[in-house]
Amino acid sequence: MDRVIGLIAANFETKDMGELTEERTVASLPYGGAYRVVDFAISNMVNSGIKTLGLITPYKYRSIIDHVGAGKAWDLDRKNGGLFVLPGSVFGIQSENSHFLLRDIRRNKVYLDRSPSPYILITAANVISHMDYRPLIVEHIKSGADITVVYNTCDRDEPHRLGVNVEDGRVTGFKPNPKKYEDAMLDTFIISRELLMKIMEWYAAVDYLDFFEAIEGDLDKMDVRAYKYDGYARQMFTARDYFEYSMEVLNLDVAAELFSRDRPIATKAAESAPAKYLEGAKVRNSMVTAGSLIEGEVDHSILFRGVHVCKGAKVKNSIIMQHCVIEEGAVVENVILDKSNVVKAGAVIKGTGDATYIMS
């Protein structure tokens, strides 16, 4: 029997992503040229030895179900355990901006009831990290804590994350809108299954609350500990987060950590030939994915699969999602180009440094 099963809340929804999440959820946002945001949570779970994984899906579930399928990419297509695609509790605006809605967990009580595993590791799907959960699991079990939450120190103001007060390794309170250098949750925690079931009962009447909102008043009665994660970790809440954090993979140190060959981040397989460069290609400080064809210039940008940059076209400081075509002589700068867009020959599309232009 496995000691820990996983639960990923992939139903976080927000209006702050604008057009990017019109047809998809934050969890299924394309990221890093070849991935979806949820790949990190799923892969980290699997790479930490978790073989049973529940995925709470959002209202706009098409893109995420299409992506995870039966979990084959993560070896989760198992007879025993494997991937469980779970429904979210409420559809629409009520789950807007909530992190772990009690209802979502309650709705999936059967998933928890049936499991013989004593611990549950719960994480949000919008965390980009290469975290190994095993030390967290070990520490939680050793300490005998009721709940162990993962946190880190903000390196900028993080109005959408949940701040956390930590004293001597214990969580003593939460506060919204954490500022730079303050501690904030990474929306990842481990809890014993039994306690989680009890909490579901205790707070049944207020299950519209966020998990941490609900338990805040009882922090003095519970043993809630904090586990600091020092590795690279980002949480995506807004379109600006998406652009800035996506571009950070152009930093080789960040890329080396996130895409380390041990405990690799896996994603749904897509067949493409290697990227092809023709005469006249000029690519600098960029990530380019298989299946792309480069004849023009690309600078400080991320190109997803099957992107065609034609002769004389220029792409700068942009994210170009799969199967886009930048025709001859076109210029694209400070832009997020969503899937399968064609920028016509000679066209110029520019955002500003502050306001990235999103073409959906």
Partner 1 sequence: MVNKKPFIAMLLAGGQGSRLGALTKHIAKPAVSFGGKYRIIDFALSNCANSHIDTVGVLTQYRPYLLNTYIGTGSSWDLDSHDGGVAILPPYATETGGQWYAGTADAIYQNLDYINLYDPDYVIILSGDHIYRMDYRQMLRTHIENNADLTIAVMTVPWEEAPRLGILAADESGKIYDFEEKPAKPKSNLASMGIYIFSKKVLEDSLIADSRDPDSEHDFGKNIIPTLLGQGKRLFVHRFEGFWKDVGTIPTFHETSMDLLEAEPQFDLMSEDFPTLTQDDSLPPHYVGPKGSVERAFVGNGSIVLGKVEHSIVSNGCTVEEGATVTDSILLPNVTVEKGAKVIRAIVGEGATVKAKATFGSADTAEPIAVVGDDAVVE
Instruction: By CB under 8 A, tell whether 264 contacts partner 1.
Output: yes
Q: How far is CA 235 from CA 120, 151, 322, in A?
A: 21, 12, 23
Cβ-contact 334, 351 below 8 angstroms: yes
Instruction: By CB under 8 A, tell whether 259 contacts partner 1.
Output: yes
Cβ neighbours of 120 (radius 10 Å): 25
> Of the two residues 152 and 267, which places its CB atom closer to partner 1 in the complex?
267
Instruction: By CB under 8 A, tell whether 277 contacts partner 1.
Output: yes
> Of the two residues 293 and 345, which places its CB atom closer to partner 1 in the complex?
293
Residue of 190, 132, 126 whose CA lies nearest to 162: 126
Read off the tokens for 173.
Answer: 């309170």
Binding span for partner 1 by CB under 8 A among 53-61, 107-115, 195-203, 281-289: 281-289
Instruction: By CB under 8 A, tell whether 188 contacts partner 1.
Output: no
Q: Which of residues 25-54 bind partner 1 (CB under 8 A)?
A: 32-35
Q: How far is the CB of 223 from partner 1 (least distance, A)?
A: 38
Q: Which of residues 300-329 bind partner 1 (CB under 8 A)?
A: 302-304
> Of the two residues 166 and 293, which places its CB atom closer to partner 1 in the complex?
293
> Of the two residues 178 and 291, which places its CB atom closer to partner 1 in the complex?
291
Strands 147-153 and 224-228: parallel
B/e letters for 135-160, b = 16+ CB within 10 Å, e = fewer, are ebbeebbeeebbbbbbbbebeeebeb
> What is the full DSSP assignment across 20-82?
GGSSS-GGG-EETTTEETHHHHHHHHHHTT--EEEEEE-SS-HHHHHHHTTSGGGT---SSSE
Backbone angles phi, psi at 301, to 5 degrees: -145, 165
Q: Which of 184, 196, 288, 309 binds partner 1 (CB under 8 A)?
A: 288
Q: Which of residues 189-228 bind partner 1 (CB under 8 A)?
A: none
Q: Which of 279, 352, 353, 354 binds partner 1 (CB under 8 A)?
A: 279
> Of the two residues 164 and 287, which places its CB atom closer to partner 1 in the complex?
287
Cβ-contact 122, 34 below 8 angstroms: no
Sign of the CA dihedral with 8 first, then 16, 335, and 158 last: negative
Instruction: By CB under 8 A, tell whether 231 contacts partner 1.
Output: no
Instruction: By CB under 8 A, tell whether 246 contacts partner 1.
Output: no
Q: Which of 175, 193, 240, 276 binds partner 1 (CB under 8 A)?
A: 276
Q: How far is the CB of 66 from partner 1 (least distance, A)?
A: 17
**163/148 Cα distance (integer angstroms):** 15
Give residues in contact with partner 1 (CB under 8 A). Answer: 32-35, 72-73, 249-250, 252, 255, 258-259, 264-267, 269-291, 293-294, 302-304
